[in-house]
Amino acid sequence: MRFTVPLTAGVAVILVAYACGGGPPPPPPGPDLDSLNEAQRVRDSIEAARRAREDSLERARLDRERLEAARRDSLDAVRRASERVRQQLEVMVHYDYDRSNVRPQDAAILDAKLAILQVNPGLRIMISGHCDDRGSDEYNLALGNRRALSAKQYLVDRGIEDSRISTNSFGEERPLDSAANETAWATNRRSEFSITAGGAELRAPGGM
Amino acid sequence: MNRMFCLLAGLAVLTTPVLAQDPVERGVRIGITYSPGVLPGLLVLSGPRSLVLDSARAILARDLDYSDEFEMITLPTGDSLSIGIGREATSEVVAPSSLNEAFINYPLFAALGADFAINVHEDVDQTVVATLLDVRGARIQRQIRLTQTNPTDHDFRLEIHSAADEFVRAVVGTPGVASTRILFINRGRIYRTDSDGADTYAISPSDVEAMSPAWTPDGREAAYMEFPGTLYRHDVRTGTRRVIVPTQEHQNFTPEYSPDGRSIAFSRATSDGTHVYTYNLVDDCCLQRLTVGRLYDNLSPTFSPDGRRIAFVSTRSGIAQIYVMGADGTGQELFAPFDYGVTGSSNAPEWSPDGAYVAFHREIDRSPQIFVMETATRTVRQLTNLNRNSDPSWAPDSRHLAFVSERTGSRQVWIIDIRTGKVRQLTRLGEARLPSWSPRIIEQVPNN
């Protein structure tokens, strides 16, 4: 221990000198008590500074993580909300045999889409008309077009810009249920809605 | 020219010629199942066997049966009985290159009920010769020498089909329709098959979903719709495809060539509904819309053979019915009469090549059935009633229709003879629909 003191003091002096940079020259080294205490103080203050720095880094890291988590949560929330909106948008409407008019019970489905289109002005959609396989194959292309058009017209009549909605028809070529019974046919007589642009982050209309 | 031919295998029972009997007994047929009718009896003769000869006989027999112009005479199967050409009282006969010097047992054929007989033999130069014999007149009526000798070759089949058509022409005055092909859709791909259902394979790319094939009047090309709605012209022989440029916009379907092949009519789905358009293919110009109105659809155009009129489907009465207009869109009127509120929807019209009929399908109790309307009188006749039957397409003889039937449980292409109502199944795939029957495929058949 005896032999180490001067060495430690020397180190402290060097450290002080280093810390003071271009300040006045350091006192000459000596094994006196004052200088030992001084060295200890310096040492402690360096350690405290180091700890403080580490603490602040840690705090910053935790803050950052908290922020990120919060942002993630809010992004997730936005994404979840957007996904709910997208699902709402993709709910199909159905039709009676050889008919293309919007049925009263399906108006609410289209009203929900209307609200979504209103609060998401960048959103553009495609409506695809489909038929069951009982009608004529080729006629069903025209009927599917009619079905898509009537769903579109419902939205356009309520203020959605015509150019935001495109339509096409798959006739009877894309059945969801290939069985030959009324349940399957009713399922297949439908319009499908898909997003063609502006669907990355969808805002939910009020009340959703 | 004394070559040994084994033409009468195991013919001991029938080597003695049966002489023509008293006229009152002419209707008597022996050894066969036959009910006398107005159709001439036809016997396809046996003879030396080889792959090429057997194939030729089988294809000819089928084609002539499918012509619905003959009563086919079928003999009991097996080796014990076969009828051929040969010298009296011997099974090993001398056959010259021409049949003229051969012994042909016309009285025997007549006794079997044959008015005509078909013989196929191999000549000394190894070419295959098909001969139509007029049994009543005891003479060779028509003889066709084939150029192809490979029975698996498409051209061999086509040559035999053409020979069959020529034999039909020799007997009834108008050629048969064996040398034709039928396009149809099987799970989104366009397939072709010969008129007898042989040689069936896909011609459109596997990554393309196609609908509604239609032949050019020369039988070289077909147009069809590819999803989501672009029309293509497809060279059937080379397989090359060209887009019909204005159909790259909107959804376009049901293409139909004009009889001169110069323009194409089709349906286009727009925000105004579906409408009939024409486009000039020769000058690549002049897209013309023929129907108007936002409230109803117009589709499935089909030209009259003179190219001056177009029959089409319109929903202007509330449900789909068959209408007609000038090829420029003028003079639109109802074509196939119907009872408002009673008659089911009518679709898929096709004008017959002779102009006399328009075939279409009409729903009876929600099941489509095949109908033909006589264009002169506008009288409508129902041809089918079994299960669901739809999408008729005329053979070039304006007598046979290909159509889709679900009578076996799946959609398959069938053929019906509109005179007799006789049907036969053409396809046996997973699914076959939207048939289009080609014109006669022209091929020079060298004749003797």
Q: Where are the beta strands (DSSP E) in B158-262?
A: 181-186, 189-194, 201-202, 210-215, 221-226, 230-235, 241-243, 251-257
Name all domains of chain B by residue range, CATH numbers in brackets. Answer: 4-172 (3.40.50.10150), 181-437 (2.120.10.30)
Q: What is the mean pLDDT of residues B351-363?
A: 98
Tens digit of pLDDT for each residue in A150-162? 999 999 999 999 9
CB B357 within 8 A of CB B372: yes
CB contact under 8 A, B391 and A169: no
Q: Is the pLDDT of residue B35 over 70?
A: no
Q: Which residues does chain A have within 8 Å of residue B320's beta carbon, measured at their own beta carbons?
A: 136, 139
Tens digit of pLDDT for each residue in B301-313? 999 999 999 999 9
Angle between helices A107-119 and A33-90 (to 10 degrees): 140
Across A75-79, A81-85, B252-256, the highest mean pLDDT is recorded for B252-256
- The β-bridge relationship of strands B400-405 and B116-122 is unpaired
Every domain of chain A and the residues it spans: 1-90, 92-197
Q: A interface mutation test: which of B248, B252, B271, B294 has the most A CBs within 10 A?
A: B271
Q: Is the pLDDT of residue B7 over 70?
A: no
Give the type of residue at B117.
A
What phi and psi values does residue B268 have, to the nearest 5 degrees? -130, 125
Of the CATH numbers 3.30.300.30, 3.30.1330.60, 3.30.360.10, 3.40.50.300, which one belongs to the domain with range A92-197? 3.30.1330.60
For B313, the closest of A139, A149, A170 (CB atoms) is A139
**Angle CA B304–B218–B369, to nearest 5:** 50
Q: Is the pLDDT of residue B21 over 70?
A: no
CB contact under 8 A, A167 and B271: yes
CB contact under 8 A, B273 and A145: yes
Binned at pLDDT 50, 70 and 90, residue B98 comes out as: low
Q: State both tokens at B129.
A: 């010769």
Distance CA A199, CA A57 (A): 39
Q: Which has more confidence, A76 or B346?
A: B346
CB contact under 8 A, A138 and B434: yes
Q: Note the pLDDT of residue B101.
A: 61
Q: Note the pLDDT of residue A23.
A: 52
Tens digit of pLDDT for each residue in B236-282? 989 999 999 999 999 999 999 999 999 999 999 999 999 999 999 99
CB contact under 8 A, A168 and B274: no
Distance CA A89, CA B37 (A): 67
CB contact under 8 A, B269 and A136: no
For A142, the closest of B188, B299, B366 (CB atoms) is B299
Q: Give the neighbor-by-neighbor strand order of the sheet with B367-374.
A: B346-351, B357-364, B367-374, B379-382
For B433, the closest of A137, A139, A145 (CB atoms) is A137
Binned at pLDDT 50, 70 and 90, residue A193 comes out as: very high
Q: What is the mean pLDDT of residues B323-341?
A: 97
Its pTM surpasses 0.90: no
Q: What is the mean pLDDT of residues B196-221?
A: 94
Q: Find the closest chain A residue to B187 by CA distance.
A: A173
Binned at pLDDT 50, 70 and 90, residue B330 comes out as: very high
Binned at pLDDT 50, 70 and 90, residue B443 comes out as: low
Q: Is the pLDDT of residue B416 over 50?
A: yes
CB contact under 8 A, A168 and B251: yes
Looking at chain B, the whole-number percentage of residues with pLDDT higher than 70 is 85
Q: Note the pLDDT of residue B24.
A: 37
Binned at pLDDT 50, 70 and 90, residue B31 comes out as: very low
Q: Which has more confidence, B267 or B23?
A: B267
Across A7-11, B97-101, B234-238, the highest mean pLDDT is recorded for B234-238
Angle between helices A139-157 and A107-119 (to 10 degrees): 60
For B254, the closest of A135, A138, A162 (CB atoms) is A138
Q: What is the mean pLDDT of residues A189-206?
A: 93
Q: Note the pLDDT of residue A71.
A: 87
For A139, the closest of B209, B347, B434 (CB atoms) is B347
CB contact under 8 A, A136 and B361: yes
Distance from CA of B274 to the nearest CA of A (A): 6
Q: State both tokens at B363.
A: 């729903």
Residue B151: asked if its preceding bond is cis (omega within 30°), the reply is no
What phi and psi values does residue A68 have, to the nearest 5 degrees? -60, -45
Q: Is the pLDDT of residue B107 over 60?
A: yes
Return the DSSP state at A31: -
How many interchain CB pairs under 8 A, A with B? 75
Q: What sign does the dihedral A63-A69-A73-A79 (CA atoms) show? A: positive
DSSP A46-113: HHHHHHHHHHHHHHHHHHHHHHHHHHHHHHHHHHHHHHHHHHHHH--EE--TT--SPPGGGHHHHHHH
Q: Which residues does chain A have within 8 Å of residue B391's beta carbon, measured at their own beta carbons?
A: 136-138
For A145, the closest of B274, B300, B391 (CB atoms) is B274
Mean model confidence pLDDT for chain A? 87
CB contact under 8 A, B348 and A136: yes
DSSP B301-340: EEE-TTSSEEEEEE-TTSS-EEEEEETTS-S-EE-S---T
Q: Which residues does chain B have within 8 Å of residue A143's beta carbon, measured at their own beta carbons?
A: 297
CB contact under 8 A, A138 and B269: no
Contacts of B80 (CB under 8 A, 6+ apart): B10, B13
CB contact under 8 A, A136 and B347: yes
**3-class SS of residue B59:** helix
Q: Which of A4-18, B59-73, B195-209, B388-402 has the lowest mean pLDDT?
A: A4-18
Mean model confidence pLDDT for chain B? 87
CB contact under 8 A, B299 and A149: no
CB B258 within 8 A of CB B305: no
Q: If we measure between CA atoms, which residue out of A196, A179, A197 comes closest to residue A188?
A: A179
- Helix (H) / strand (E) element for A19: namely helix A4-20
Q: Note the pLDDT of residue B326.
A: 98
CB contact under 8 A, B434 and A137: yes
Distance CA B400, CA B333 (A): 27
For A138, the closest of B212, B271, B273 (CB atoms) is B212
Chain A interface with B: residues with Cβ < 8 Å: 98, 134-139, 141-143, 145-146, 149, 162, 167-170, 173
Tens digit of pLDDT for each residue in B65-93? 999 999 999 876 644 455 677 544 333 34
Distance from CA of B388 to the nearest CA of A (A): 9
Distance CA A152, CA A165 (A): 7
